[in-house]
Structure formats: structure tokens, C-alpha cells
Structure 1
């Protein structure tokens, strides 16, 4: 800080001019002379002169005192106050007098030009010094002036001058530094920094490119699209090498190829907007903005709160994340589909899936957030349902502020349930076909065993050592035959005798038996709806259904009572319900067709069925009971009877509370326009049987054929055997027969095909088919007049009786 107080001391006012005092004194003297001449009294003249003197002195004191005081204030100024006032960190300030002497200056002037330098004599270039001297003259003349472009080795300044002081005897100098910005460096810093990240978040790829085409800086969005990595350093790389174009001049990223999303290229030259630097445009750096063609610049988009309010009302499961993968919001349908019970979503989408799928989901969200605006799916397993993969749809979005990825998850709980039901029905159908085939083959084996037992019993009498053993073998064979009948019932291939009936009548017939069956500890409650529709079913088979369900209910209740140590309290409810088409629609079941039904419901309060087992309870040989307490065929038989009757059965259960079986049988509506069935006329009149006869026996199983042949021969029939349908046709051509006894399923040519060929030759010849399948099914498939049926397995007596009845014409 420099300054000079003595040089700047302000002088006092100069004395009044002499002529003013002479004129004043002459006026007073003249007045005194006139008074002396008029009055002639010296005292009066002396008093006049003295009074004028006193008044003059008083007036001078009145007008001179403030001025003298003010002059005394400025006479000795405090320059430390002035120095403090001009101290600045951004502007150099100096004060000079008319002689060009430096009065004072702040510290910044000393740093820039030296402590003793007084403007305009500063260490500047010659041209700058001349500019400053010209500005000095203009300031003394006009009061203010300025000078631009004052250059030295230390920098460049702009000077502003103004005249100041009471007498405007001082010049105040202000020197402002002229900062030359490197626009390219500044722009590169912004694109590689916070501004570039903000552009990336909005999906704008940007890069600063030098005149030679080298990349100076690029944001993460450009690096991601160009190289696949947002952290890739592209400094010095060739900008054009990352882009390609097609014949339509559309621009693509080279890494994505022409199958990628085209981009719009916006070119902004980086030039000084003030025009200070005259730069050749060919040597100017450039800022490039790349925008996906699907988007665009300046599009008006709704704010994120409005989007959230809109998506919250949709029934679709929708959510949105930011570019870091954090949830911005998720609607109720999305959280419900994800099995998330809280209304507030977790921090990340990966929190909804199992541990093994977290990495894949995080990578997918990051890829769609930083890449091009595309969509896709990723298969994940939710924590709420880890056993069932679901498809989570993702789509990159742009122009929604923080929103970057839109997630969509469908609530597939109902769809999953329906799929499970359809899969269960398909599986049951496949198992039923397998069970029917097994039962058919097993029936052939049982027919041979039972037949040979009958033949051996004919040679033994009660009391023989082998008689009881043979009877035991036959009894066990008959027991096995009952198992095959259950398998046939499950596979819907047993013989039914359907009737039009009311379900309450069937329940009333079997109620007494059910009470004895479930025991006194368990209460049987029976309730019926009114206006129940008629159903068409086999009453005997329906009774079998009720018995099987009641036995299972009894066992479940007894197991529960034994577990808790109770002696009673079990209840079995047997209910009939009227189900209308409107009720079926309200159920929204894809399995049950819309229509009117009469429902039979059997419910118990036993231990229930576990969720993992309820889908398997109708499968043959599957049982939830302890080993040795169940065959696993009870519910499979129920399932087969219900399905063969045209009905549907559903099971519901909650462990420890209840189990409910609901059977829906369609209401039978007779068709008045349906013609009454007519009896087909035969080619010749019925003839009486007189005993004996020639029989053609066609059976591919050797043991069954041998047993049937021996049984018929013992009855006096003449039997010709054939191993398949072709041999049977050859035998017909060689001889005459009264009856054809044939198996249905045979290799090469089956029984029905052989029968049709024989009817072309012998229209009147009767047929007796042997099969383990249902008679109704065979009649629908074969549809041959004068056809009869014998179910396997059969005994020797049964086949002999069947042949005799056919030959008698019954």
C-alpha cells in the first residue's frame, strides 16, 4: 500500500481581494464623513463606525465558522481509511493527482505492476502504454475514460478511469483482468463431468471432438453405446470409427450395426461467442449430440408424478426404476404379482427374487437403463413363489426425468392355478389310459388263473389235500380282479348302468350304511337344497363314491382325534347343492363348463391334506395313509366314476381344519325331439338252441384261449381256435359256425375288424366279445348288431353261461 499525505494536503482559502476591502472601507468612511458633516458630533460618528465594525465581525463569524471547520477536517485526511476502502481481491485500484503522482493503491496493483508504479507509467507493452496515456488525457478532459487490451507478460487488463475529489484533482484507476477461456477444455470438463452425467440420464449421448477427429471427452451414455462399457476411456479415439451409415444416410453405432437403433447427429462448433478470438472454423473443435431416432429433441413429456398417477390406476403390474436400478414407484398390481405384501416397494427389483436370480436381474436393469430404448424379458423366480419361474418384462424409457426402466409383471396366480388344474387333468387322463391298459393285460392273466382253478376244482372234491389250496388261489385271484375293476373305474372303462335320478334319493339309500361305517364318535350331517335338477348316473357307482369318501373322512377324523387325545367331535357333512350357470360364471373356472349342475359335497373336519399332496390324491396307488392302511385306489375309483358319468370333482383342504370334495354332475335335460331307439331287424328269425354247436374261438393270449377252449369243450361244444383275426377269417372260409367268441384287442387284426369282414360273409352270425373294457365303450366303437359282451376276468361257469345265453337267442 502506497500513499503521500503532505503532497495531498489541502490548502486554506486565499484572502479576499484587496479591492473588495478597499471598496468596503471607502464606503464606511464615506458614510462616516456624511454623518460628521450633517451632525458635527464626533461621538456619533465614532459610534457609527464601531457599530459597523461589530456587525461586520459578527457576520464574518457566522458565515466563516462551518467552512473553517470543514476545511480543518479535510486538511489532515486519514488515508488508512481510504486504503481500506479500495482494498479488493479482483480489481486493482490506484489514485493519482494532477501531477501524476501516486496518492494510494491497493495490494493487487502492487502484485500486478510493482509497489511504486503510478499509472499511466506501468510495465506494459508499448501499444498498451499509449492506449493508457490516451485514456488519461480523455479522463482529465471528460471525467471518465477506459482502455481495452492492456497487455504485459503477466496478463491482459481493461482499465476504467474517473476523475474525483472536491476539486476533481484526482484520478481513480480501476484495472480488471481479462480472462481468456479455453472453451474446448471447459466443454470437455463439463461433458466428462456432471453435465455429461445429466445428459446420460436423459438418454443423450455426447462427445467433444477435436478438429482432427479425435475424441477429447465423452459421457457415459456415448461410451455405453459405442463400446458396451460406460466406464471406457475414449480420449484420443477416432470419433467416426464408432459410427456407420446405410444407403439411406441413417447413422448407427458400429457396435450395434444396422439392426440397432438409428441415431440423430447434432453438430455444435465450439467457438467463442464474444468473437474475441478469430478462429478458423476448419480448426474449431466440435460438440456432438447423438439422439435415438425413436425419441427426439424437445419432445414434451409428462412428469414422473403424472406417469406414476396414471400407471397406479392400471390393472397391469407396472413399476419404474432409475438408472441406478432403484425403484421409483410400483403400482399395487405389480407388488401383488410379485407377492410383496407391503404397499411400499423394496429398494431394488432384485429384492423380490431369489438369491440365484439377483445378479441376472441387476444386469438386465442396468443394460436397459444405459443402453438403447429397447424392450425384452428375463425369467426370474420370485421369493414368494420360488418353484415357478415368471417372465419379467423390461423396457428402456427416455424423457421421463429420473425414470429409466419400465418393469412389467403379470399377476399369474390365477393363470398358474388354471395351468396346474389343466396339467393335473392331462396327467390324470394319461394315468387313466395307462391304468386301463394295465388292467386289460392283468385281466387276461387273471382269466387264465381263475379258469385253471375252476378246471382243477372239477377234478377235486372238498376234503382233498389240494382243494383248499386251489380255493385260496381262486379267492386271491378274485380279489385281484376287484383291484382291476377299480383301475378300470379310474380309467373310465368299466361298465355302467346309468339312470335318471335325484341325488337325495341316492344319499337316503346309503345314509344308514354310512352312519354304521363312520362310527358313533363321528356325526353325519345331511342337508339338501331345493329344486335340484335330475342327473343321469349309475346309482350303484354313486353309492360306491359316497362310501369311499366317507371312509377317507372317517380315517382323517380319527387320526386327528387320536393326535389331540379327544374322544369325539368329528363331523362329516353330506350336502347336495343347486348350481346354476350364473354360479359357474362367478367361479371363473376354466375346467368347469358353464351350465346347470347338481353338486354333491362331502366335507369333514379331519387333519386335512397338505398342499404338496392335494394334486396327487386322485392318482392310482397314491395314499396319505400309513403303510398297510390303504391301497391308494379309493379316490382314483371315485375320480373315474365321476368322470365317466360326465361330471367333475374338485378337492379343497386346509391342514388341521377341513377337507372338502365337491362333485358336479350336469343336470339331465331330456330331448323331446330325440327319436325313440329302434331295434334293428335281423336277417333271419330267431331260432331255438337245442344244445351243442360249433364255436369259433379267437384269442391271442394262449392261456386264456386254452382255458376257454377246455371249458367249452367240456360243455359239449365243438370248438375251433384262432390266434388272431386273420386266422379267424380263414377258419370262417373253411367251415360253418354257430357263434364267434373273440377277444377285442389283438395284433394284426383286432376283433371288431374281423367281425365286420365276417358279417360280409355271414350276416346272421352272432358274436360274443371278451374284454376288460367297458361294454358301453365297446358298443359305441364297434356298433355291430347281434353283438354280446363278456367281461374279463371270467370263470369257466361264466363263459359257459354266456355262450349258452347267446345261442338260446336271449
Structure 2
């Protein structure tokens, strides 16, 4: 077969012969035509294939109509995955079709050959990080229609993985694994040894070989092949390097192929990092009669310059003999200046350790080891200095290897930052959940007591004060959730100038008389989709920080500017973080003291603050960062000490669909503010204090309330057969959680409306509560908010 097909099930034929198959085959033709266009990049071939196929089907359909009677059968759209699977083989790259959950439906031959056992695409990651990226790529395709990323997969280096959402119901995913994006480092090193680099070494009289971690010969230059082999290196069963040489005394070796009269040679081992592949080493063999002058010869210098790692030769007195370009770059050696000793490259505290290591390897037994040091030009980032003893290479006694690991250190910092943010976010989510339950009870009881008091009563002001402080505490929990991107957002389609106009009056009071507020708006600003309240919080937080930065100067100017950024302008920026798209940008700039470069990279970290103790929580900018990222935007900080700071926020332009024109509001819509109602409500809540206040609130609004402590009790009440108008349930409960209980209840009452409530954010629970006809109410909530949510659900809104 030309394809592999999985889990397609069986299709029973319908009366009417060919008729039922037409819609399904047309759909399959459409899918196949789309695959042709996607796989070979030529729309004309995809269109011709589709047109020809549909023409064939129409002709067959006419013939079938003439030969069969009219049978009334409801047409069924049934995409033919077998046909789509055949189209996959037009691609030489591995390709597969899955459902939205990632289960395989069809694959091509290249996919089967590449991945043994035909695992699902989301299971081909080479490690945990790659598997996580594959799952995120699937989610991105379901959300945006397509997605792509370089991911480390089984059977090789990183590959470009492209996922597209296809099918009439957009219920299928097309996966394609393009050719590996990077050449394997071991193959690259082998090509250099066997290629032009090896020829240069051979011209200098140097025998060069590449040996893998198992000691087998991977590649050799022509000089080594002629003297030690039959002229070529066997690719089927490469020989062991130790089978090609024999010791000749005094640390030298002889080539076995040259017999007993072979000249002794010195061997220099140069380790090379191969990344994910097996460890490898380049062994350089020199004739013994070249030994004394090799360390300072032009040949050795040429050799060192060609190697991609930082190498240096040191004599017995600990002085540099020669270094290559990579060593200069990694060690921060400027121009032609050459330090005398290796210790001159490191900070004062590490000089003694480096000098001692060089001395021991120069005069003691030949060995090697890594030494963590801090270089003068980069004292905050420790690097690994490999010190290895040399013998029989003239004046050279020590070989130093220094790797430029600035990118590796940067990646480690980013991973540590992400891990810290994730840990703090999980902590914040748990704290917010418990705290929101407590605040729900406090706010609810305050509302119930306020119903029995009127303004002027002795207790009325005290109750209002309790409620006000509870709302402030609720705001703090939202702030905790904001920087971890777990807060519940209620996005709307809005224009940035309108948001700034709403908050500008508040800003003038917050900034004071010493700070001048300047607002500028650009033209052709596209609409954005964001929570207006959270966006106002972003503007206020950044403005207050700017005010504090300008206070030491006695005041200044705060400039808030909006402008449009087109996709071509984004491309010109060359940012690796900002995707190419149309954005509406918001810039907030001050003329304050600025932020030092060492601190600028930490300003978005939670609980990081430069303010005095008691004057800053360290949550302001982290909250801003969380809100912007959860809104789908990007934020950048640019600052120069003494000149001020600029924060720029890029929010993607939202494509607004033309709203359907409707008539006037119905009487039902006009009376939706009516909070009183009737009917029986089943309330499921494991927290007694929340259950009590919710029951009393609903009873006061005219509803009959049945309560349950957990999901099992709720199912028992439902099984009694009582008429229930609405089920209100907490999401996270012991034994049986809310979503599980709702799915069981829907088996007997499929039309039962559901209102979930939780102290966790809705976005955090979105996957678990993704059930039809379900609403969500975040905690803490007031009595009025609960009544409004119930009324909306019961009225069908």
C-alpha cells in the first residue's frame, strides 16, 4: 500500500449505490487538493487535481442516476482518509494526519520509515522538553489554524515541524516533519577531516583522524589513509583506532600497517564536543622527527586556527606559546595584545588555582581536568577551562581549552527564570484559591448584613468598611494571579485611545503637580482584544513607577503614545521574540533616572524591587508582564541611566467581523437586570462557609436551594428525580471534582444548565470545564454578582 491508515472504522453502504459516496469523495478531493498545495507549494496542481476529480465524480454520478431509481437518502459528508493518505506520499518528508487529540489517522511511507513503531506525532519528541513543545504546537494549530517550530525529534537532530488544521469540520490535523534543520555535528567534523581541512593538514605532514566515543575510526585525511589503511575508511564496519597503532615507547606510537620499521610518532588528542551525539575526539599524529619545533611551527598555528574551539599551548614555565582565534574570542583577548600567563585572563581570586593547575600538568604525569574560572572581561559568568598535559610536543607542556559558553549561560538563566516564575505562579494560584474562598464568605456575609441595615445605622459604616477592605484583599489576589498569567480576563474589542482617555483623569491625580502628562495618538490604530480593566491597571502601574523614578529629579514629563505598527515594520525590527503581524503599540516613557543595565533584565521578576523596605511589593511590573502576555501581547523595556525609561507594549490587531444587524432588544433582554427568580437550584460546595452564604443569598432571591457537600451527594440528589432548574458547583473538590460530577449528571439530564464557581482562575481550569452549556463565576463574588450570574444562566444568556 502507498499509505498507512489507522482507526478509520467501518462504513456501512447506504441504499442508492454510488449516491451516498459523492459528498464524501468530494470532501476527500478537497482535502487531497489542499494537501497537494500544502506539500508541493503549487496551487495550480492542487486546483487541477481537485477540478479533475470532481469532474470524474459528476460523470459517475450522472451514470449512476440513469441506472438507479430515485432513493431519498440524506447526504453524508464522509472525508475519505484513504485518499488523503495517498496524497501524503507526494511529500518526501514524513507526514501524518491526526484527530484534534493527536491520535493517528493516516501516515505516509516517509513517516513510517523515520519513526519505528509509528508513534503519534505528539510522541516523537526526543526528550521531555521536545514532547512539551509538540503538545504546545498542536494546541497552537487548534487555536490559530497552523503552527511551526524547530523541535528535537527521534531519529536525528532538530526538524522543522509544521501543523495545520484541516478537514470540512476542521477536526483533523496535518503534521509535516521537514528535513533536519541542522547538520549533525559528528558528520560535520568528519567532513572537515576528510575534506579540505584534512588536505591542508596532510600538506603540513600531519596525520589527522576522527574517533568516536567507542574508539572506532569515523574519518581520516588522505595521508593517514594511505599510510595506515588501504586508502579509504570503511563505513560498514570502521576499525578500532587501537587496532591500527602500537606503542613505541616514550609516549610515541607506530602504525601497524608500516611494519616493524615504522617511524615513531607523537599523538596529540584534541577533544571535540558533539552535542547530543556520542563523544568524539580528533587525534593528530606527528612524525617524531618533527617534534621539537612543532609547538611553535607555522603548521601547528595553522592547525589551531582551523579548529572551532579555543586552544592554547603553554610551556613548562607556564607561559603562552600560541593561541588560536577561538581562544582569543572566548578569553576576551583584544587585538594583538597577548598576556604572558593564563592567570592573566582570570579574576584575581582565580589566578592561584589556574597557575597551580598549569604547573601540576606541566611537570607531573600527563592528565586533564576541568577548572571553573571567571574571566576578567566577564566576571559574573563562570566558564570551564580544560587543562591537559602534553608530552613529546617540543616546548609545549600544557594544552588549554576554553569554550565560549555565553549562549549556554544565557539559556541557563532563562530556564532558571522560567522555572522560578512557574514555581511562584503555582504557589500564587494555590494561595489565591484558599484566600478567595475566605473572601467569598466575608463579602457575602457583609452583603447579607447590609440588607438588614440602612445608611445611618450604627453598624452600616462598619460593614461597609469590612466589605471595602475585603475587596482590596480580592484585588491583591488578582494581582498575585496576574503576574503568573492565571487571572480571569474578560476581553473586549476596544481602541487604545479610549482606554487612555478613561484613565487619564486618574493619572493626573496620581502623578501630582511636578509631573507633566503628555498624551499622543497615532493614526490608523487597529482594534485590540483585551480586558479594559486589566489594561488600565497596566497603564497605572507603569505610570506610578515612572512618577517615582522622576521624583529624585524633582519632576519631569510622562509621555503616553499610541501608534500603529505594520507587519513590514515588524520585519524591519528583526526581533526574534516579536512575530511578524500588525500591532497597535502603547509606549509609556519618562524622563527619570533610568534603569541600570544589570537591573533592566530583572524588572519583570516577581518580588524584585529597588524601592525601600515597605514602599514596594515587587509585584507591579510582574503584574504588567503577566497581563500583557495573557492578552497575547509583548512588552519591552528600554532605558538609559540619566535619560529615562521607555516601556513599549505591542498588542496584536484584532480582526473584527462585521456584526449581524439585529432588531430591537426583546422584552426578555430589557428585563435581564431583574435578579429575583423561582425554581430549584442544586448547590454543590465543599467549603461550609461558602456554601452557607451562597445558600442564604439564593434563598433571599426567591430560589429553592438544595445543598450537597461533594459530587457524590449531588449525584444522589439528582437520582431522586427532583426537578432542578440549575446546578451550581465548585470545580475543585475532594473525591469527585465538579466537571466529573457534571458529566455523570448529564447522562440522565443532558439539558441541565451548569454554573461553575472557583477560587482558581477560569483560564487555569479551561480544559477541565470545557463542557457544553456551562458558565463560570470566579470567587470571590458578592451576593448581587451571584444573583446576576444565576439569572443570566437561567435566561439563556
Pairing 1:474–2:467 present = yes
Q: CA offset at residue 443 of structure 1?
A: 0.6
Q: CA offset at residue 386 of structure 1?
A: 3.8
Query: Who is 1:722 aligned against?
Result: 708
Query: Who is 2:138 aligned against?
Result: none
- Provide the C-alpha distance between the structure 1 equivalents of 2:762 and 2:244, rounded to a whole number of angstroms: 74
- Residue 558 of structure 2 contacts residue 588 of structure 2 at CA under 8 Å; is this kept in 1? no
Query: Who is 1:234 aligned against?
Result: none
Give the 3-state SS of the residue equivalent to 1:439 in structure 2.
helix
Instruction: Name whichever of 537-546 and 329-338 sits farther off.
Output: 329-338
Residue among 632, 651, 670 paired with 1:646: 632
Residue among 521, 537, 547 paired with 1:554: 547
Pairing 1:713–2:704 present = no
What is the TM-score with the length of structure 2 in the denominator? 0.57
- Residue 692 of structure 1 contacts residue 716 of structure 1 at CA under 8 Å; is this kept in 2? yes
Query: Who is 2:687 aligned against?
Result: 701
Query: Who is 2:337 aligned against?
Result: 344
- Provide the C-alpha distance between the structure 1 equivalents of 2:505 and 2:692, rounded to a whole number of angstroms: 46
Q: CA offset at residue 787 of structure 1?
A: 1.3
Give the 3-state SS of the residue equivalent to 1:797 in structure 2.
helix
Give 1 or 2 for the bigger CA radius of gyration.
Answer: 1
Instruction: Count residues in correspondence.
Output: 522
- Residue 577 of structure 1 contacts residue 600 of structure 1 at CA under 8 Å; is this kept in 2? no
Pairing 1:435–2:421 present = no
Residue among 512, 526, 538 paired with 2:531: 538
Pairing 1:423–2:416 present = yes
Q: CA offset at residue 625 of structure 1?
A: 2.7
- Residue 265 of structure 2 contacts residue 288 of structure 2 at CA under 8 Å; is this kept in 1? no
Query: Who is 1:455 aligned against?
Result: 448
Query: Who is 2:727 aligned against?
Result: 740
Q: CA offset at residue 599 of structure 1?
A: 4.1
Change beyond 3 A, Cα 1:417–1:507: farther
Change beyond 3 A, Cα 1:669–1:462: closer
Pairing 1:795–2:786 present = no
What is the TM-score with the length of structure 1 in the denominator? 0.56
- Equivalent residues in 2 for 1:227-238, closer than 5 Å: none
Post-superposition CA distance 1:487-529 (Å, at most 9, x none):
2322323332334555456556655654554345334455667
Pairing 1:762–2:729 present = no
Instruction: Name whichever of 709-718 and 471-480 sits farther off.
Output: 709-718
Change beyond 3 A, Cα 1:548–1:265: closer
Instruction: Name whichever of 702-711 and 466-475 sits farther off.
Output: 466-475
Change beyond 3 A, Cα 1:307–1:596: farther
- Residue 677 of structure 2 contacts residue 701 of structure 2 at CA under 8 Å; is this kept in 1? no
Query: Who is 1:216 aligned against?
Result: none
Query: Who is 2:771 aligned against?
Result: 784
Q: CA offset at residue 247 of structure 1?
A: 10
Query: Who is 1:603 aligned against?
Result: 589
- Gaps of at least 5 residues in structure 1 are 1-245, 255-260, 267-287, 563-567, 673-687
- Provide the C-alpha distance between the structure 2 equivalents of 1:450 and 1:399, rounded to a whole number of angstroms: 84
Change beyond 3 A, Cα 1:658–1:333: farther
- Residue 514 of structure 1 contacts residue 550 of structure 1 at CA under 8 Å; is this kept in 2? yes
Residue among 483, 489, 506 paired with 1:496: 489
Q: CA offset at residue 354 of structure 1?
A: 3.5
Give the 3-state SS of the residue equivalent to 2:632 in structure 1.
coil
Post-superposition CA distance 1:740-761 (Å, at most 9, x none):
1111111221111111111111
- Residue 332 of structure 1 contacts residue 343 of structure 1 at CA under 8 Å; is this kept in 2? no
Give the 3-state SS of the residue equivalent to 1:783 in structure 2.
coil
Residue among 279, 289, 306 paired with 1:298: 289
- Provide the C-alpha distance between the structure 2 equivalents of 1:538 and 1:318, rounded to a whole number of angstroms: 56
Change beyond 3 A, Cα 1:526–1:714: closer
Give the 3-state SS of the residue equivalent to 2:486 in structure 1.
coil
- Gaps of at least 5 residues in structure 2 are 1-241, 257-262, 269-284, 659-673
Q: CA offset at residue 416 of structure 1?
A: 3.2
Change beyond 3 A, Cα 1:711–1:504: closer
Q: CA offset at residue 580 of structure 1?
A: 4.7
- Provide the C-alpha distance between the structure 2 equivalents of 1:707 and 1:386, rounded to a whole number of angstroms: 60
Give the 3-state SS of the residue equivalent to 1:623 in structure 2.
coil
Instruction: Name whichever of 350-359 and 448-457 sits farther off.
Output: 350-359
Query: Who is 2:792 aligned against?
Result: 805
- Provide the C-alpha distance between the structure 2 equivalents of 1:501 and 1:807, rounded to a whole number of angstroms: 29
- Residue 266 of structure 2 contacts residue 393 of structure 2 at CA under 8 Å; is this kept in 1? no
Change beyond 3 A, Cα 1:330–1:485: same
- Residue 368 of structure 2 contacts residue 387 of structure 2 at CA under 8 Å; is this kept in 1? yes
Give the 3-state SS of the residue equivalent to 1:381 in structure 2.
strand
Change beyond 3 A, Cα 1:600–1:324: farther
- Provide the C-alpha distance between the structure 2 equivalents of 1:639 and 1:795, rounded to a whole number of angstroms: 29
Residue among 301, 313, 325 paired with 1:320: 313
Query: Who is 2:143 aligned against?
Result: none
- Provide the C-alpha distance between the structure 2 equivalents of 1:453 and 1:649, rounded to a whole number of angstroms: 40
- Provide the C-alpha distance between the structure 2 equivalents of 1:396 and 1:483, rounded to a whole number of angstroms: 61
Change beyond 3 A, Cα 1:718–1:602: same
- Provide the C-alpha distance between the structure 2 equivalents of 1:594 and 1:369, rounded to a whole number of angstroms: 55
Instruction: Name whichever of 349-358 and 513-522 sits farther off.
Output: 513-522
Residue among 475, 480, 484 paired with 1:487: 480
Pairing 1:378–2:364 present = no
- Provide the C-alpha distance between the structure 2 equivalents of 1:486 and 1:374, rounded to a whole number of angstroms: 56
Q: CA offset at residue 791 of structure 1?
A: 2.0
Residue among 736, 740, 750 paired with 2:737: 750
Give the 3-state SS of the residue equivalent to 1:388 in structure 2.
strand
- Provide the C-alpha distance between the structure 1 equivalents of 2:531 and 2:313, rounded to a whole number of angstroms: 59
Instruction: Name whichever of 393-402 and 747-756 sits farther off.
Output: 393-402
Give the 3-state SS of the residue equivalent to 1:782 in structure 2.
coil
- Equivalent residues in 2 for 1:62-461, closer than 5 Å: 250-251=246-247, 263=253, 291-292=266-267, 294-298=285-289, 304-305=297-298, 307-308=300-301, 317-330=310-323, 334-339=327-332, 343-366=336-359, 368-369=361-362, 377-394=370-387, 402-461=395-454
RMSD (Å) for aligned C-alpha atoms: 4.4
- Equivalent residues in 2 for 1:485-634, closer than 5 Å: 485-500=478-493, 503=496, 506-507=499-500, 510=503, 514-515=507-508, 517-525=510-518, 535-558=528-551, 560-562=552-554, 568-572=555-559, 574=561, 576=563, 578=565, 580=567, 587=574, 589=576, 591-592=577-578, 597-610=583-596, 613-634=599-620
Post-superposition CA distance 1:456-480 (Å, at most 9, x none):
3344444444333222212111111
